[in-house]
A and B are shown apart, each in its own frame.
Chain A
Amino acid sequence: MRTERAASAQRDADPVGQFFTGLAEAGYLATFDRESATLRFDLVDGEAVERWYVAVHDGSVTVARQRRPAEAIVRIDRAHFAAIIAGRLNAQAALLRGLLTCEGSMAAVMTFQRCLPGSPNSTGRVTPICGETAAAGRRTT
């Protein structure tokens, strides 16, 4: 009983599981508005491969583990995927670097990556550089 509860707690704490559960619970991906595709994620952890399917139809999302046809297959180390969904690794950079491979529809993957978060260190804020000091500094450039 205790082991079961621990396993369940671990599942709850697992960000990868939470990410997919979160997609299913949200039930909608705005970036797929008027688009449909099924993506398969093969998350590699040593010898093991954890497989998730995300099916989007006009924005409505369903998440599944059972085998089905997919337009795009994304294969990546589970740890790298965890970094991506935490915003610590950019998916497009990972693709260029060879950390993530993509088979099939590149367009579907491109659309999907738009639902991923930005860097946790990003604030979106910037401090204005005003006044005479800024202007004086610039003049010498």
Chain B
Amino acid sequence: MTGQLVQILEGNTFVVSDEQGDIEASGTDPTGLFSFDTRFLSRWVLTIDGQRLSALSTDDLQYFQARFFLVPGSADVYVNATLTVIRQREVADGFHEELRVFNHSSEPADLRIRIDAASDFADLFEVKDALAKKGRYRNRVADRSLILGYERETFVRETWISASAKASVDENGLSFSVTVPAHGEWSTELDVVVSLGKLDTPAAQHADRRGQRKARRDMARGLEKWLNHAPRLECDWEPLAQIYRRCLTDLAALRFSPLTMPGHSMPAAGLPWFMTIFGRDSIFTSLQALPFTSELAATTLRALGERQGTRIDDFRDEDPGRILHEQRYGELTAFEERPHSPYYGSADATPLYLVLLDEYERWTGDAKLVRDLEHTARAALNWIDEFADLRGDGYVWYQRRNATTGLENQCWKDSWDSISYRNGDLPGFPRATCELQGYAYDAKVRAARLARGVWRDAAFADRLEKEAADLKRRFNRDFWIADGEYFAVALDCDGRPVDSLTSNIGHLLWSGIVDKSKARAIARHLTGPQLFSGWGVRTLAEGEARYNPIGYHTGTVWPFDNSFIAWGLRRYGFKAEAASVTAGILEAAEVFGGRLPEAFGGYPRHLTRYPVQYPTACSPQAWSTGAPLLLLRTALGLEPHDDHLLIDPALPKRIGHLELLEVPGRWKRMDAFGRGLIDTDRLTSR
């Protein structure tokens, strides 16, 4: 397939087609209509008199809607075309397509219009890994509809295709024999509806799904309302306004309604492959977005709480109290060939859940949610002590119990080579990465505040604070690399430090676990030449054996990572360093047209001039979308303090005057102002 792919979506339903609006997927090709992690259409091709069409133009009208202007024939002959076709498509539990054919000649046109349709019902995992199907296909024609079906035992998935105009329906598509009058028009509406078999057959469930459908539609239509509800941004530096608007629009597209909470939205992880619940991604993105919208955090907390682990299940790496890593709905998950029902193999989601719960309360004052989730929060705290401490030494460790389909690295740097010694060797398992200890420390400090203020359990609060202080003391002793003056990325299975220099130390500042006396050295490293590229902090420092400027977690710059590093630098008072990270990432966002990729190359800025995008199929990515939002928060120094919003700007000079108006929170709405006074050129010109 040549040309650009067009993708539209709503919730976890999305359509990826070519510029003509056609779908011709084969094997691992990522085009099609997808819903609930299953491909429901792998073929959807429009022809007129047996001829394919060419695109004159394609418009993404909204994230859930696209329009294709087409003419019959291939690109080199269409100049004399007397027919124009407009295909307008909208995602809604499948999709709805309006097909209009215009005859521009003075003679009537007799046409045979055809839609070829087929589905391979591939699980998303099968699309990625090219696996073979185990069930049977069963297509049939009924009620003037074409029903594409797939069955494996009681697992049934169907695609219902129907048209408003009179069609002749066969098992491979729909045909229309029409006469379009001179200077006239013919049109039909096409509906493609996905069915999850018994998951939605009972009558009541249908009503429920209709309700969900309506809720989803309302959510999509509410885009303008969503944009208007967010704080207004005024700024001297024009690109920032564009970046801000892009972030809000992308965040709207990334909203996802859990099956248990129709009408409420939480951030999915990324488009198109990760439109599902991820513990870590949903939590980080909710944290980044809190000053702009708190609804995402509220839904994330409830949805992850509902699915919190309660039992020992080795296949799913589930333990009591553990917050999930990833939920999926496809065939491989249904037949327990993959563990995502849900899969729990993440060591950071549980402490981060507690961090989000506290940060949410500090912004919103919603003590009711904190009370409702008290049991969940206590179970999460218990997980940290009872189930994560695999070596019994008071640290959070991870090692998968599902050795075939589980995840090896259960921290955000989850690729196989992300955690290494300086000489490039990889440690064994279990591993205790440093940022996990920071999150656990922060989780306990924050939970102590909630225990005292909301759960009214002072004894519990005292205990948590004592444990946190003890963890901090031990951590600063055991992880410190004295000759390099930074923290080891991890402890290995023998309890020895894994000594490479990584961006993880920035998350330590964010968590507050770093002794004040060591913070200056950490800030120096984060903005030093080994880690700071001029655009941002590299995942792994230049000079380490595995450093590679385009290595996924071994040298690239991740915008999300940097946004939390900037927050950490501000927490310890390093205003100029935080402003430099902010300037670098926002300037990169400017180059990327407002939409930051998941990661970009770690080359020194003076070498490439432009940030080099890491090739990835997933864009926008939720936590990259959230990065500029968190950077705005840290640059303005927004901190909730009881019923007030503290504002302490430390902006890069380039930004000039900045206003963030009507920031929502327990203070109702507050305006924040700042002026760029910090010269960041010294670092960002590196």
Contacts and interface: CB of A to CB of B under 8 A. Distances in A.
A34 B341 contact: no
A98 B154 CA distance: 5
Most buried by A among B261, B307, B312, B416: B312
Nearest to B155: A97
Contact of B156 (A31, A98, A117, A126): A98
B199 A96 contact: yes
Contacts of B260: 106-107, 110
B425 A114 contact: no
Nearest to A115: B310
Interface stretch (A4-12, A14-22, A43-51, A129-137): A129-137
B336 A93 contact: yes
A96 B333 CA distance: 8
Interface string A98-134: 1101111011001100111111011111101111001
Interface string B362-381: 00000000011011000000
A98 B372 contact: no
Interface residues of A, number: 43
Contact of B429 (A95, A115, A128): A128
Highest count of chain B CB atoms <10 Å: which of A30, A93, A95, A123: A93
B341 A96 contact: yes
A110 B341 CA distance: 12
A106 B260 CA distance: 5
Given A31-B310, A104-B204, A107-B261, A122 B341 contact: no
B470 interface: no
B52 to A, nearest CB: 37
A103 B197 CA distance: 14
A103 B311 contact: no
Contacts of A118: 311-314, 318
A105 to B, nearest CB: 8
A34 to B, nearest CB: 5
B341 A93 contact: yes
B198 A119 contact: no
Nearest to A75: B202
Given A96-B329, A103-B205, A114 B318 contact: no
A90 interface: yes
A117 B137 CA distance: 35
Interface of A: 30-31, 33-34, 73, 87, 90, 92-93, 95-99, 101-104, 106-107, 110-111, 114-119, 121-126, 128-131, 134-135, 138-139, 141
Given A30-B375, A129-B493, A135-B427, 19 more contacts: A34-B372, A34-B374, A34-B375, A90-B313, A92-B342, A97-B154, A98-B154, A101-B205, A103-B202, A114-B308, A116-B311, A122-B311, A122-B401, A123-B312, A129-B399, A129-B429, A134-B429, A138-B426, A138-B428
17 contacts: A73-B204, A90-B336, A96-B199, A96-B334, A101-B199, A101-B205, A102-B205, A103-B205, A114-B310, A118-B312, A122-B401, A125-B401, A128-B429, A130-B429, A131-B494, A135-B426, A141-B416
